[in-house]
């Protein structure tokens, strides 16, 4: 895959995105690695040929620079007006590309610049911008997008609380309204009962008066009887009978009065409260500034100090011309060394293919040992706090050991089996390579075990990993590098999961095992086919076979770089670790 770039009138140059070829010296019969570049000759040179080139009388004044600082060769384009001449200058006055004849005949007296210099500078600027887009703008914008997703969750939770408060206030008011209604109904019932009792009493009064009148009528009727004159009362005084009692007086009931409440919607809103839009002006999200630093001049690495983390500037560190043995030690408690995790200064963890995981010092003294479900995988790492983190295949989980004592499960990978794990030195995130029966993936978790995102496919929708991504690490630019044994490749994606390149070896396919990176952005990976350690740059370009059997390790399996920039290589047949110095 390549990006097309227009660099001059009618000239298009392909910029390779994936580089995996072996950089060889251009000198005839020389097959050494290219380290230098002659700008006038546009030749790739090894160190020895570079010295000879600069000593030769014909080329002693040529500008020879490190390969990364080379000037790009100007693509050949013939002048339309002078077909025998190449376009190699630009007229500053007219701002057009011209050949030497044009400069004499058409642009006499004008000022000219070397088109090759401008082309090389612009080429480098474009590459820098591509790098900046991939390494800063895209990841930063994706980080901001993830922040927005988290804020959305927080906003929804916050608004749910407000809605809960609103419902609670309404329910509270409902209960008060019901209480007032109940009290009023009780009062109405009491008043009704009192008035009914009084009215019923009045009704009884008239019942009694009716009985009195009925009895009085009977007496009058008895007096009208003529059966016995001597006993007939009508013959005597009727004063008592004729003195009828008056009709009893009673009162009309006075009905209770209901005074309706005086309220409006606003009155109710005051009781319940209201939701209003915020008056505070929103602040802009903080965007981390881009650090425009050159990898080979200004490099950083976090080192653990007693007073916290420091950023240490490394300006002169570079690849050494030779690889030297620093020391050798044996890890007691393991049969072989398949993976190494660097801990505090002088302390590391090493594991074999039998599930034995040992903490040791550089003298091989065993400090701690635990039994795990791990095998020939990079299944353990050390956090920025110095705690061990390891994957458990049996429970599909990731555990941590705090201060060497308590084992805590803080990540569950569900149906996926965790195989490889790495702690980011950039932010402390946890990278986990995991697999199922059919495919694999890489997931990123924060320090609390919350999944941030996972990576499964490239930009074409193809599966990136097999079911066995068994070693994983992170480079200084945020790239995620995975050793995939079944794919026979080192698969590298950037921070947001975009596929950058896959390294599959040189003369034959590699079978990658342990993998790590260093402060210069190099990728170091063990190959069990060639029984060597391959050294790549951060763009996947093969640089050299850094460690071979001649260096003491016959079957390299596990690799790591310590705080002093020394390379530790574990032997897959014995419990030996050899430490190499390859940077100076």
3-state secondary structure of 578: strand
| Alpha carbon distance 534, 503 (integer Å) | 10
The span from the CA of 224 to the CA of 230, in Å, is 13
């569950």: which residue's tokens? 412
In a domain, 500, yes or no: yes
Statement to judge: residues 570 and 456 lie in one domain: yes
Q: Which stretches within 113-137 are classed as H helix?
A: 115-132
Q: In what order do the strands lie in the sheet with 406-412?
A: 380-382, 388-392, 397-402, 406-412
* Strands in 80-170 per DSSP E: 89-91, 96-98, 112-114
Same domain, 498 and 442: yes
The two structure tokens encoding residue 295: 């990898």
**383 and 517 co-located in one domain:** yes
Residues 432 and 500 in one domain: yes
Pair 557, 451 in one domain = yes
Please tell me whether residues 424 and 573 are part of one structural domain: yes
Q: What is the CATH number of the domain that holds 37?
A: 3.30.160.60
214 plus 267 within the same structural domain: yes
Cα-flanking dihedrals φ and ψ of residue 406, to 5°?
Answer: -85, 130
Domain boundary residue, one of 121, 154, 186: 121
User: Do 110 and 244 fall into the same domain?
Assistant: no
The answer to the question of residue 26 being in a domain is yes
Same domain, 75 and 206: no
What is the Cα–Cα distance from 516 to 475, expressed in whole angstroms?
A: 8
Give ∠ CA 315-475-528 in degrees, rounded to 5. Answer: 115
pLDDT at 516: 95
Name 71's Cβ contacts closer than 8 Å, sequence gap at least 6.
37, 39, 116, 117, 120
In a domain, 283, yes or no: no
Q: Could you tell me which residues come within 8 angstroms of residue 540 by beta carbon, excluding any fewer than 6 positions away?
A: 18, 19, 20, 490, 492, 500, 501, 502, 503, 523
The answer as to whether 293 is a domain residue is no
Residue pointed to by tokens 């290219």: 34
Q: Same domain for 238 and 334?
A: no
Per-residue pLDDT, 190: 93
Beta bridge partners of 112: 91
Pick the closest to residue 400 from 382, 412, 425 (CA basis): 382
Q: How far apart are CA 480 and CA 583, in angstroms?
A: 23
Res 442: pLDDT: 95
The residue out of 255, 272, 289 marking a domain boundary is 272
In a domain, 309, yes or no: no
282 within domain boundaries: no
Nearest to 334 by CA among 367, 362, 369: 369
* HSE-up (13 A, CA, CB side) for residue 114: 9
pLDDT reported for residue 496: 84
Put simply, whether the predicted model's pTM sits higher than 0.75 gets the answer no
pLDDT of residue 458: 86
CA separation for the pair 347, 562 (Å, rounded): 10
- Domain final position from 60, 89, 121: 121
pLDDT at 581: 92
Supply the range of the domain harboring residue 380. 324-583
Q: Is 191 left (phi over 0), alpha (psi -120 to 50) or beta?
A: alpha
Q: Which residues pair with 340 in a beta bridge?
A: 350
Contact predicate 541/21, CB 8 Å: yes
CA 453-538-139 angle, to 5 degrees, is 35
* Burial of 459 (C-beta count, 10 Å sphere; 0-12/13-18/19+): exposed
Residue 301 within a domain: no
| Tally of domains in the chain | 3
DSSP state of 355: S
Give the whole-angstrom CA distance, residue 537 versus residue 549. 22
User: At 469, which CATH number?
Assistant: 2.120.10.30
Q: Are 46 and 34 in contact (CB under 8 A)?
A: yes
Nearest to 390 by CA among 345, 414, 365, 356: 356
Question: Are residues 398 and 354 part of one domain?
Answer: yes
Q: Does residue 114 share a domain with residue 171?
A: no
Cβ atoms < 10 Å from Cβ of 253: 12
Whole-number pLDDT of residue 237:
57
Q: Of 284, 251, 295, whose CA–CA distance to 520 is shortest?
A: 295
Tokens describing residue 58: 């014909």
In a domain, residue 204? The reply is yes
Contact 188, 256 (CB under 8 A): yes
Q: What is the pLDDT of residue 302?
A: 36
Radius of gyration of the CA atoms of the chain, in A? 47
210-217 — which CB contacts under 8 Å span 24+ positions? 212/245, 213/244, 216/241, 216/244
Helix, strand, coil % (nearest 5) of the chain?
25, 35, 40
In the chain (584 residues long), the average pLDDT of successive 10-residue segments reads: 36 38 79 86 90 91 86 88 90 90 89 88 84 84 87 90 89 89 92 93 92 87 63 58 84 87 82 81 80 38 34 58 89 93 82 92 86 92 89 92 80 91 90 90 90 88 92 93 95 90 90 94 94 93 89 91 91 93 89
């Amino acid at each position: 895959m390549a990006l097309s770039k227009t660099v001059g009138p009618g000239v298009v140059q392909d910029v390779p995105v994936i580089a995996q070829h072996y950089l060889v010296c251009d000198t005839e019969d020389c097959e050494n690695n290219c380290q230098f570049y002659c700008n006038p000759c546009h030749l790739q040179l090894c160190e020895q040929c570079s010295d000879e080139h600069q000593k030769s009388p014909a080329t002693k004044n040529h500008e020879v620079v490190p390969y990364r600082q080379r000037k790009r060769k100007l693509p050949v384009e013939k002048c339309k007006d002078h077909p025998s001449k190449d376009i190699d200058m630009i007229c500053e006055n007219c701002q057009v590309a011209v050949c030497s004849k044009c400069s004499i005949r058409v642009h006499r007296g004008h000022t000219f610049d070397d088109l090759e210099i401008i082309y090389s500078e612009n080429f480098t600027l474009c590459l820098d911008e591509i790098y900046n887009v991939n390494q800063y703008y895209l990841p930063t914008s994706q980080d901001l997008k993830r922040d927005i997703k988290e804020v959305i969750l927080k906003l929804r939770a916050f608004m749910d609380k407000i809605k809960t408060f609103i419902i609670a206030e309404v329910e509270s008011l409902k209960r008060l309204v019901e209480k007032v209604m109940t009290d009023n109904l009780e009062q109405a019932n009491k008043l009704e009962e009192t008035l009914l009792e009084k009215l019923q009493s009045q009704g009884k009064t008239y019942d009694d008066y009716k009985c009195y009148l009925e009895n009085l009528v009977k007496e009058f009727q008895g007096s009208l009887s003529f059966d016995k004159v001597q006993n007939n009362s009508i013959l005597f005084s009727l004063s008592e009978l004729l003195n009828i009692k008056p009709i009893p007086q009673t009162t009309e009931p006075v009905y209770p009065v209901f005074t309706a409440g005086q309220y409006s919607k606003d009155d109710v809103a005051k009781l319940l409260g209201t939701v209003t839009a915020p008056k505070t002006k929103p602040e802009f999200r903080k965007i981390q500034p881009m650090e425009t630093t050159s990898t080979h001049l200004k490099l950083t690495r976090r080192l653990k100090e007693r007073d916290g983390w420091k950023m240490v500037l490394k300006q002169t560190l570079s690849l050494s011309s030779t690889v030297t043995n620093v020391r050798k030690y044996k890890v007691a408690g393991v049969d072989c060394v398949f993976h190494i995790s660097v801990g505090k200064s002088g302390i590391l963890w090493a594991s074999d293919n039998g599930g034995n995981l040992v903490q040791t010092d550089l003298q091989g003294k065993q400090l701690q040992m635990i039994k795990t479900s791990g095998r020939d995988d990079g299944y353990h790492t050390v956090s920025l706090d110095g705690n061990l983190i390891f994957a458990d295949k049996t429970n599909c989980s990731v555990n941590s050991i705090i201060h060497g004592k308590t084992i805590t499960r803080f990540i569950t990978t569900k149906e996926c089996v965790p195989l490889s794990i790495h702690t980011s030195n950039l932010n402390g995130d946890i990278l986990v390579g995991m697999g199922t029966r059919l495919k694999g993936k890489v997931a990123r978790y924060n320090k609390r075990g919350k999944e941030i995102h996972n990576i499964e496919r490239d930009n074409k929708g193809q599966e990136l990993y097999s079911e066995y991504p068994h070693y994983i690490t992170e480079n200084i630019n945020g790239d995620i590098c995975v050793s995939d044994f079944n794919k026979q490749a080192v698969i590298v994606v950037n921070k947001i999961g975009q596929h950058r390149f896959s390294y599959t070896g040189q003369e034959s396919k590699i079978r990658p095992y342990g993998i790590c990176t260093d402060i210069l952005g190099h990728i170091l990976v063990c190959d069990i086919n060639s029984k060597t350690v391959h050294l790549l740059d951060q763009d996947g370009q093969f640089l050299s076979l850094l460690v071979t059997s001649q260096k003491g390790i016959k079957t390299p399996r596990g690799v790591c770089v310590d705080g002093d920039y020394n390379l530790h290589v574990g032997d897959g047949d014995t419990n030996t670790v050899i430490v190499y110095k390859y940077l100076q």
